[in-house]
Structures are given as C-alpha cells and as structure tokens.
Amino acid sequence: MSKTVNLKIDGVNVEVPEGYTILDAAYKAGIKIPTLCYMKDLNAIGACRLCLVEVEGARSYLAACVTTVSEGMVVNTNTPALRKSRQKTLELILSNHRTDCLSCARNTNCELQTLCHENNVDMDRFGRSNLEPDIDDSAVHLIRDNSKCILCRRCVAACSVNQHVAVIGPTKRGYDTHIGSAFGDPLDATSCIHCGQCIVVCPVGALTEKDESEQVWAALADPTKHVIAAPAPSVRVQLGECFGMPIGTNVHGKLPAALRRMGFDSIFDVDTAADLTIMEEGTELLDRINNGGVLPLITSCSPGWIKFCEYYFPEFIPNLSSCKSPQQMMGSVSKTYFAEKQGIDPKDIFVVSIMPCTAKKFEKTRAGQSASGYPDIDAVLTTRELANMIKRANIIFDKLPDEDFDPVFGMASGAAHIFGATGGVMEAALRTVSEILTGDDAPKIDFSEVRGTKGIKEAEYDLAGIKVKVAVTSGLENAHQLLTMIKNGEKEYHFIEVMACPGGCVNGGGQPIQPSFVTNNLNLRHTRAMGLYNQDAGMQLRKSIDNPVMNELYDTYFGKPGSHKAHEILHTTYVEREIY
C-alpha cells in the first residue's frame, strides 16, 4: 500500500495517495477546479493561472495543477477573491484573443468560451482586441491562426513530448511571444509529420485542420462524378461523439446511412481495404521470414509514422512494409478493379476518404499513389469535417436507421475493425499469418498481449514452430525509443507495428476534440478502442483471410497476394528526407 494523505478541500475531507496534485484530489472530492493549460501526463506548467486555489498558511495562491498535496492541507477553491481572480485572468486572456466566435471552427467546443461563460466574464472589461488574423496555412493539413492562440503550450508539448518532432515552440518574449517554428519559418518548411496532435490538444481555434468539405460538396453536386465515400475503421467509434453520444459508441450502421443521404454514389468501407492490407502485408512478412528479407518488418498504415521514419530513421526505410495504407489501397482498387468492373472511367471517380487523421491529407499527395494514373484519393475528410457536413446536410444523425455499406468493398472482418486501435494491425496480421502457417482454419484469434494503451508492447508467439517476436508502439516518442533500442542491438523483432498517434487512430489528429476536463479524467484512448474490440468480439468473420471479398479480388483480379499486379496497384516506395 502506498502512503495516503488526508486533506480538506472546500470543507470536504478527502484521502488521496501521496504525490497527488490538488487538482486530482479535488476531482476525487467531486470538485472541478477550472484549468486551461493543463493536460494530464503532457503539460503541467502552471502557466494559465486559472487553477489557482487558496491553501491555508500559504503566502500566495497556488496553481492546483502543479502543487502536490500534503497532510492536513486545507484548500479553498471557491472564495470570492478566487472567483474574481479567475474572472480577471480570463478577461486578460480575452483582451489578446481574436474573438470571431460565431464563425470560429471551435465555436461551442472551445475551452476558453466555456470558461468565460461559466465565470460570467465581461468581454469588454479590457477592451476588445482588434487583432488581425495571423495565419500560417503553408502545411497541407492545418491552419494556425496565432491571433487566437492563448499561449497555453499544449500543442508544443504534444509535438515534443508525445511525438518527438518538436517543430513548434514559443518564440520571443513578453507581448511578442508567439508559437512558431525556428527562424519564423512556415510549418511547411519544417519536419512536421502532419499528425495533427497539436490540433486535438488546442483548447481554442488557433489550430484547425485544412477543411476539404467544399471540394466534396462540389463533387457531390457534379453529375459527371461517381463519388465514393470510404470511412476508416476508427471513425465509426468516434463520429457519435460529435452528435452527443457517449464516447466509444459504435455507429457502424448509421455511418453508411448518413453518407447515402448526403448523396454519395458508392459507400465503401476502408475496413475492406484493411483486410486487403493484411493479405499483402502478411504475405510480405512470411516472404521476408522465409527468404531472409530485411527484418523487422514495420507496418506502413500510419502516414505520420512513415514521414517520421523518413526524416528521423531513414536507415529503417528498407524495413517499412511496401504496402500502401488502407486508405490508398481503397482508392487504388476503386479506380482500377471497381472502375473496370463497373465500366466507369477512373477520371470520373472521386474518392473521399473519411479519416481519424490529418496526415492522410498529406499521404494522398505523396508520389507513387496513383495506381490508375489518377490520384488514388481525391479528398480526405477528418471525422470532424464529416460531422459538420452531416449537420449541414440537415440529417438528424441519431434518428438514422442502421444500414450496410455497398457491396464490392462493403464487407470487412473483425480484424479490420480493430485496425483503429494500437495493436490492432498487429493482431489482425497475426490472425491471418497464423492460419497460413499452421494450416488450421480455427487458429488463435485473440492476441491480447498486443492490446492496451501501453507505450511499447512486446510478445513472442510460436506459429507452427516458427518463433515470431513482435512489438507494438504508438506515439512517436515511444517509437523513437523502440527504434533506438533496435539500432543499438538491444532488441530484436520480426514484426513491429507503429502508429503515430498515442493510442492509435482512435486518438488521431482528425478525431472529435474532447475538452481537457474529459481527457484528464478518462482514458479516452481505451474507451474509444473498446468500441472497436467489442464490435470485433461480436463477429463471426474475424480473420482477413476469410473475407469473401478477398477471395473475389484475388481470384478474379490480382491472382495472389504479392503478385506483380498487386505490387503495381497496392504497393509503394519511400524517400529519405532531410531533418530540418
């Protein structure tokens, strides 16, 4: 038993483990101390001064997010002076914040707005700011508007602490302080990997994805275009959050129903392409193991990870699976196999992928991603952009019936669904690879060692006498540590799954933004991932290799996994990039 500490907060006696902050102790006592810059396990710097509390005997107010509890402490969080202090702090922040709330992407989902509302703030107390937009829209995936930035540094922490990229940071001092890149360079000139983790931690509208919804509306209105919608695995357990549903709700049936009503001509499931990825990647793994290929094989589904590898670990490029990501496979088979089958010219097909990810907006622009001669993917929407489009289409989401995806690419295995969580790609691959190796059509299904939100997971499996050592990691700081250990010869594996975002796609940069009060007190990654694992557990079809769509595709089109044709359409190459 670890030691505990007794203290009193707002008259409530509370006992918490030693080392707790006042903020966490208050939460346990049912008290919500307001915060703005604080993010659990990421950014505890006591900068915003909203969580100030009165500690009896202390000389000044203390920041609850960085002050640890001590025995007998008496804390007040709700005195008239503290309420006044919070109000003034918010009014000062507002005086230097461009308040175009009505047209701001974060309107109604802005932590500053909520706090101002809750604290009865006077917007005019220090005069309204007359700030002009201060925009960097150089990168393919996001727009930074520093006139809305409140300098909480949450994005800086996400970029450096979680992602090991560190291309943004505070620059200059005092009034001139702003978040930017070295030498005032535009983000596009840096080694940004487009993961979008900065966007999902931003409490205000200073960081938003580059919205592609207008292009999609235009395509939908164009009668000459066959517009295909293709949502990724994790989108179905997240989209509901945008419509007030509990976190982790699976809307697998409502998702195609909404897309159909918006006017998409075909509604395909990227999960089907995830099964295709497993067929190709599993074959690649077996080939490398049997024929002395470069090992460990490392997954290539996460475009943020791919770009990180190209910048920071180019020596591992030969280890990357040559398979395109499920998004790109979806686009390439839509414009080749599907186009031929339906007799549609691929130039008239417009593929819209719906992704948990902002790096997918970059991935679609990469070289070698146009199997049909036209780009595999035409537009990438994040889960958030899709939610906004559904609202604009006047659809009452929670009243939608459950419908199916369209045939051809509408059926997927449980293995494909779990692609959206860290460990999911690994588990999906192991299910199919173990069937191929053992020849047993009812092999091991649950590889629970690779599940969960731990930063680095390891396991060793015996598949028909072949020992396969695997590792799974998410968050690029973790990936950095894992690859460094491999480089130094401390670790050896056959197969590694890397996802750029901590927790995998369920915590991707394109997912619905939950306020820090939620993320600080709930294991968001786990709750969202459970929506996927529960769906998988309830299915008959749990292995990619059993998906009838795969039989059809390989029998009539590709021949076999890893065939010449499969390589032309489903595989790609990578480039070494110079660190900025």
Partner 1 sequence: MKNTVVVPYTGTPEQENELKEWLIENKDMQGLTMPALQKAQEIFGYLPRAAQTIISEHTGVSLEELYGIATFYSMFRLYPVGDYKISVCMGTACYVKNSQNILDKLEVLLKIKEGETTPDGKFSLESCRCIGACGLAPVIMINEDVYGRLTGDELEGILAKY
Binding site for partner 1 (CB under 8 A): 134, 146, 160, 166-173, 176, 178, 180-184, 190, 580
The phi, psi pair for 500, rounded to 5°, reads: -65, -40
Q: How far is the CB of 186 from partner 1 (least distance, A)?
A: 9
Check residue 381 and give left, alpha or beta (phi > 0: left; psi -120 to 50: alpha): beta
Q: Could you tell me the two tokens for 472?
A: 């799974």
- H or E element in which residue 481 lies: helix 476-487
* CB closer to partner 1, 61 vs 580: 580
- Tell me the C-alpha to C-alpha distance, in Å, between residue 572 and each of 3, 321, 380, 569: 55, 9, 19, 8
Burial 367-398 (b: 16+ CB within 10 A, else e): eebbbbebbbbbbbbbbbbbbebbeeeebebe
* CB closer to partner 1, 153 vs 528: 153
Q: How far is the CB of 47 from partner 1 (least distance, A)?
A: 15
* CB closer to partner 1, 183 vs 401: 183
Q: How far is the CB of 361 from partner 1 (least distance, A)?
A: 22
Q: How far is the CB of 558 from partner 1 (least distance, A)?
A: 44
* CB closer to partner 1, 181 vs 434: 181
What HEC string does 370-414 produce? CCCCCCCCCEEEEHHHHHHHHHHCCCCHHHCCCCCCCCCCCCCCH
Report whether 43 contacts 37 (CB < 8 A).
yes
Cβ count near 540 (within 10 Å): 7
- Cα 73 to chain centroid, rounded: 40
Cα gap 206→190, rounded to integer Å: 19
Cα gap 59→336, rounded to integer Å: 71
Q: How far is the CB of 133 from partner 1 (least distance, A)?
A: 13
Note the helical H segments in 61-193: 80-95, 111-118, 154-157
* CB closer to partner 1, 176 vs 490: 176
* CB closer to partner 1, 181 vs 238: 181
Q: Could you tell me the two tokens for 279?
A: 């067929």
Q: How far is the CB of 147 from partner 1 (least distance, A)?
A: 11
Q: Could you tell me the two tokens for 237?
A: 């357990």
Q: How far is the CB of 318 from partner 1 (least distance, A)?
A: 24
Q: How far is the CB of 302 from partner 1 (least distance, A)?
A: 22
* CB closer to partner 1, 160 vs 527: 160
Q: How far is the CB of 183 from partner 1 (least distance, A)?
A: 6
Burial of 144 (0-12, 13-18, 19+ CB in 10 A): buried
Report whether 331 contacts 339 (CB < 8 A).
no
* CB closer to partner 1, 190 vs 372: 190
Helices (H) and strands (E) counted in the chain, each on its own, are 20, 18
Q: How far is the CB of 452 from partner 1 (least distance, A)?
A: 30
* CB closer to partner 1, 44 vs 166: 166
* CB closer to partner 1, 173 vs 399: 173
